Amino acid sequence: MLTVVAFIVALGLLIAIHEYGHYRVAVACGVRVLRFSIGFGPTVLRWKPKKQRPGQDTEFVLAALPLGGFVRMLDEREAPVAPGERDRAFNTQPVKKRAAIVAAGPAANLLLAVLLYALVNWMGVQEPQPVLGSPAAGSIVAEAGLRGGERVSAAGFEGSELEPIASFEELRWLMTRAALDGQDLRIALAPESRGGGREVLLPLSRIDAREADAQLMRKVGVLGPWSPAEVGDVKAGGAAERAGLRQGDLVLRVDGKPVGDGQQLRDMIRAQVKDGQAVTATWDIERAGRRLALQVTPDVVNDGGAAFGRINAFVGAPPAMLTVRHGPIDGLWRGIVRTWEVSELTLRMMGRMVIGEASLKNLSGPLTIADYAGKSASLGLTQYILFLALISVSLGVLNLLPLPVLDGGHLMYYLWEAVTGRSVTDAWMERLQRGGVAVLLMMMSIALFNDVTRIFG
């Protein structure tokens, strides 16, 4: 139920903001707006405000299917227009006004994203400290000589200045951008941390980053922040309970090999399987100041033909957290920067998908969006706001693509008109519209297939 409500609220808000952008600029340009609709299909709610803006008599509609919306304006191409109102029709406006009205929708979504990111910066958010967990074997971070426990104080792309790093999420975002953009990243380790007082170059440009997924961060080597190798909640009847493990046990060694943190311990547990059979290992633990040795035999789990170990207990204590909060100006500026970065990365990934350098699996549809809406809402208000900001950026960027059925396609028409002095002919308009619909349907089909594969596959 939470997933459905979160999805409808998110979609309704983002569509309303998008259409309000079109509506508000149309009114400012003196164009008469006939209908402002959120959703399609049967009408759920219909009203006309008693106080309208000068020259307006707009009907506001809420429809049953909140999967889009539209702003219908007075236009001679759709219905006859009285001679006295011809100057208020959309099609009679100068190119610059028509372009402004069309561009206002995506611009409203991008502006909303800026404000949402800024709001989170002003509110403050609890995030893990920028301390590296144990890197995945053979990863870029492992090859750079990092072992986990290093605190990162600053980072930056190779050739640019290092910027202070406030949290682990900020560091992971930089690593993701560097890997997807094919850039190297330089990090500075805090003097008081393990191996501190030096800079380390991470050659992330070596990664063939075709998908922005969990495997990407495994190639980088950073799977999570550092956390103690502590046993958490133990499930009844599981391998952990059979071995005598208790909540709060700190694992020091597994078969004599030191355990660095919770991530390394999880990897060790998964590896306690050989030829499909569980392997018993000696765990040296610390419990209430005493050292104990326990024999642990994990349960074997088969997933898609791959067998791995599981002990049916939460592994790894929560990482050290800090509150990241910014002032009014700095918070707003960071909101602008984050919106720009996400927009740029989205466009880069779309371009790479077109030329085959990135996987089409990166496309997501309504099922994935609904799934993440529910998950983010369950994590609290801050995570839900960040989710809204991300989807708002995506909606803004998507609508600026030069596809005839989207706002970006109409902007291309107006660019042609501004350069040549004549509008696109009806025949060409019809051909381009059909092509745009075909491309959009193909994208939606791929996205829906990816959704089903992710959620049910």
What counts of helices (H) and strands (E) characterise the chain? 12, 18
- CA-wise closest residue to 269 among 233, 231, 303, 236: 231
Q: Element (H or E) spanning 209, and its range? A: none
Query: Residue 292: phi, psi to the nearest 5?
Result: -130, 155
417 among known catalytic residues: no
d(CA 255, CA 163): 41
Catalytic residue among 19, 127, 150, 230: 19
Q: Are 282 and 254 in contact (CB under 8 A)?
A: yes
**Tokens coding 88:** 């208020």
Pick from 94, 104, 120: nearest CA to 71: 104
* DSSP track, 16-79: HHHHHHHHHHHHHTTPPEEEEEEEEEEEEEEE--SSPPTT--PEEEEEEEEEEEEEEE--TTTS
For 212, counting Cβ atoms within 10 Å of its Cβ (0-12 exposed, 13-18 middle, 19+ buried), the class is: middle
Locate 49 and state its tokens: 């405000």
| Token output for 137 | 């074997």
Q: Which residues are identified as catalytic?
A: 19
